[in-house]
Amino acid sequence: MRSLRRRPLLVAVLLSTLAMLAAAPAPDDGDPGDGTAAGVSAEVARLYQDAAAATQRYEQGRREADAQRVRALRAEGLLERQRQQLGVLHKDLGRIARAQYRSGGGLPMTARLLLADHPEEALRGQHAFARVQGTVTRAIDRNRRAEARLSADEARSAAGWQALEQRTAELAVLKKGIEAKLEDARTRLQGQADASVAAGSCRGAVRLDQPPLDGTRAWVAPVETYQLSAGFGSDGSHWAHRHTGQDFAVPIGTPVRAVGAGRVVRVACGGAFGIEIVLQHPGGYYTQYGHLAAVGVDAGQQVLAGQWIGQSGTSGNSTGPHLHFEVRITPDYGAALDPLPWLAERGVRVG
């Protein structure tokens, strides 16, 4: 595949961007953890972010590669059109030369003047032919120079294009490797969560590196990226009554956020919700986060909107990885409100 005309700088910048993640320390670098809840939770959190970064840069590289492929095709089309125009000019010059030869243009200028009935007309014809010939010759030279420039640009960018495709492929392999390690770490994290639920005893809060918080938002969704699954009021065999919350389908280990500022009033590790957290918010409302794989807060702790308070899982009465999110008017089960309208009233559109 040929590269875009005059794009060596773009290729170099993109290759540098793609190289950043591959050049970074591999997920195994540093402290691999000791197998404790804290070690596995931290590993999952780090790999979660690494996987997100790898996916983002891989997608960026793929989009740039697709865009460059389109530009390369356009450049090839331009070169082909210029070659066709050059061929037309060659033919036009040939026709002019043949016409001039048939009209006596092949004779020396002195002979044509001697034989012409009107020497002035012979001179005018010669001057006209010279002007036409000069114009065509200059046009041919311009097109030849343009073709040479295009060919040179293609030759210079060919190596960069090949390197771009190679780096994109390497990044895809790196992304796949990180995701495989993340899946293994998630399995270990969930195993520890299941053991905690079986024992009915939490392992304690895991201190995770917090992302920068957006201090301009008072309320956020409980997870950043998700798919909605079972909604409030749904009927099913897994619930004694109707579903009391909104489920967010997310992989094990996904960071769970406090939807608003508040205080932790409960951290529990048993029962139908598995590992759960309940927060109290101003105004007499409570939010509950269930089926977690790990908690990152302690009872009585104050939290901010968007703060990571735990990691999602599939503990308790759960058929697959998801976050069970409830809004209540008391801290206890049985006082639930529909979470989506409640969030919408606070400027959080979930869907």
Q: What is the pLDDT of residues 271-322, one digit of tens each?
A: 889 999 999 999 999 999 999 999 999 999 999 999 999 999 999 988 899 9
Per-residue pLDDT of the chain (351 residues; tens, 9 = 90+): 433 344 443 444 344 444 444 444 443 333 444 567 678 988 898 888 888 888 888 888 888 877 777 777 777 777 777 777 777 766 766 666 666 666 555 555 555 555 556 666 655 656 656 666 676 677 677 767 777 776 776 666 566 667 777 888 888 898 899 889 999 989 999 999 999 888 888 877 888 888 888 888 999 999 998 999 888 877 655 545 677 899 999 999 999 999 999 999 999 998 889 999 999 999 999 999 999 999 999 999 999 999 999 999 999 988 899 999 999 999 988 889 999 999 999 999 998
Sign of the C-alpha dihedral computed for residues 145, 151, 156 and 161 taken in this order: positive
CA dist., res. 233 & res. 320, Å (int): 19
pLDDT computed for residue 170 by the predictor: 85
Q: Distance of CA 189 to CAs 18, 22, 253, 322, Å? A: 31, 26, 8, 14
* 158: Cα within 13 Å, side-chain hemisphere: 10
**Residue ranges of the alpha helices (H) in 200-337?**
none
Q: How many CB atoms lie within 10 A of CB 194?
A: 17
CA dist., res. 49 & res. 60, Å (int): 16
User: Are 335 and 288 within 8 A, CB to CB?
Assistant: no
**Torsion region of 107: left, alpha or beta (phi above 0 gives left; psi -120 to 50 gives alpha):** beta
Q: Give per-residue pLDDT as tens, 251-263.
A: 999 999 999 999 9
Residues 6+ apart with CB under 8 A from 256: 222, 223, 277, 289, 292, 308, 309, 310, 311, 312, 323
Nearest to residue 290, comparing CAs of 242, 256, 261?
Answer: 256
Sign of the C-alpha dihedral computed for residues 172, 175, 179 and 180 taken in this order: positive
pLDDT computed for residue 1 by the predictor: 40
> Helices 37-100 and 119-199 sit at what angle, rounded to 10 degrees?
170
**Residue type at 276 in one-letter notation:** E
3-state secondary structure of 230: coil
Q: What are the strands, taking DSSP E only, across the chain?
A: 227-228, 246-249, 255-257, 262-269, 275-281, 285-295, 302-303, 308-312, 323-328, 336-337
pLDDT computed for residue 101 by the predictor: 60
Nearest to residue 133, comparing CAs of 87, 108, 98, 82?
Answer: 98
111 exposure class (CB count in 10 Å sphere: 0-12, 13-18, 19+)? exposed
CA dist., res. 309 & res. 290, Å (int): 12
